[in-house]
Amino acid sequence: MIEHEPGWHDRAAAKSRPLFVPPAGETAQEAADRVKREGAEAAAVLLAEVPRRYRHCNRWTWKGDWPSAVDAWQPAPGADPWALLLLGDPGVGKTHVATTLYLKLGAGFRRRRWVSVEDLVRSEQRAIAGRQSGDNRGEGGLDSALDCELLLLDDVGSGRGTEWATALVASVLYHRHEHMAPTIITSNAKCAEDFAVFDHRISSRLREGTLRVLLEGPDRRSIRP
């Protein structure tokens, strides 16, 4: 008789159990169809959060070598690297890569936001104007940018906009660094030291616990498909 190590019965029984037990009233096929449908619905919701121009972005529409350094980023609340900084000249594909990651990782975060600095500033200005005229319905974009679990903040530190707008973005970065909140940042800066638009306190925080990837190549906007 073959002597088995103790406990093997339990392990064998666990292995022979079906991996997925459909809820009562649902056949295995119905359950599989539902899971597929829910996955497709979640993907559609995620895609709708991305501006139309970037909805085509994924690894399959990327031409040339994929910047594989970005795949090392495994965002988790309260852990470094809290931010992935995608740096480089206009048109090299920073927003394409950022969006690809957002679509890949986004499903793992309930509260998430894809927003450009321009839109963040505009929505906050609108909300402030609304509050001043007694209309409290308009919600500023700031709160969700501060507190969401995954933030994609596009086009940081371009130097455009007012001092107030720069301070607004700085406060988002300050807060997310403080809370180690997963953030994807794109910028025309070439390195963390290059965020000249912010004061030293912010550029210092953009160096701490961040994964920085410099993208290089042609301006794809000027290349015909």
Ligand X SMILES: Nc1ncnc2c1ncn2[C@@H]1O[C@H](COP(=O)(O)OP(=O)(O)OP(=O)(O)O)[C@@H](O)[C@H]1O
Residue nearest to Mg ion (CB): 95
Query: If contact means CB under 5 to 8 A according to the sort of partner, which of ligand X, Mg ion, none does residue 63 touch?
Result: ligand X
Find the shortest distance in angstroms from Cβ 21 to Mg ion: 46
User: How many CB atoms are located within 10 Å of the residue 11 CB?
Assistant: 11
* Rounded distance between C-alpha atoms, residue 31 and residue 42, angstroms: 16
Q: Which residue has the tokens 């906009």?
A: 161
Give the binding site for ligand X (CB under 6 A).
Answer: 57, 61-64, 88, 90-96, 155, 186, 188, 220-221
Closest separation between CB of residue 47 and Mg ion, Å? 18
Q: Which of 95, 100, 183, 203: binder of Mg ion (CB under 5 A)? A: 95
Query: Which does residue 91 touch among Mg ion, ligand X, none (CB within 5 to 8 A, set by kind)?
Result: ligand X
Integer CA distances (angstroms), 216 to 34, 86, 91, 220, in order: 43, 11, 9, 11
- The interface partner of residue 112, options being Mg ion, ligand X, none and the CB cut-off 5 to 8 Å by kind, is none
Decide which of Mg ion, ligand X, none touches 188; Cβ closer than 5 to 8 Å per partner kind: ligand X
Q: What are the helix (H) ranges across 49-114?
A: 94-105
The amino acid present at 201, given as its one-letter code, is R
Per the listing, tokens 């609304």 go with 130
Q: How far is the CB of 54 from ligand X (least distance, A)?
A: 7
Question: How many other C-beta atoms are found inside a 10 Å radius of the C-beta of residue 176?
Answer: 22
Phi, psi for residue 169 in degrees, rounded to 5: -65, -40
Q: Which stretch binds Mg ion (CB under 5 A): 47-55, 94-102, 195-203, 212-220?
A: 94-102
Binding footprint of Mg ion on the chain (CB under 5 A)? 94-95
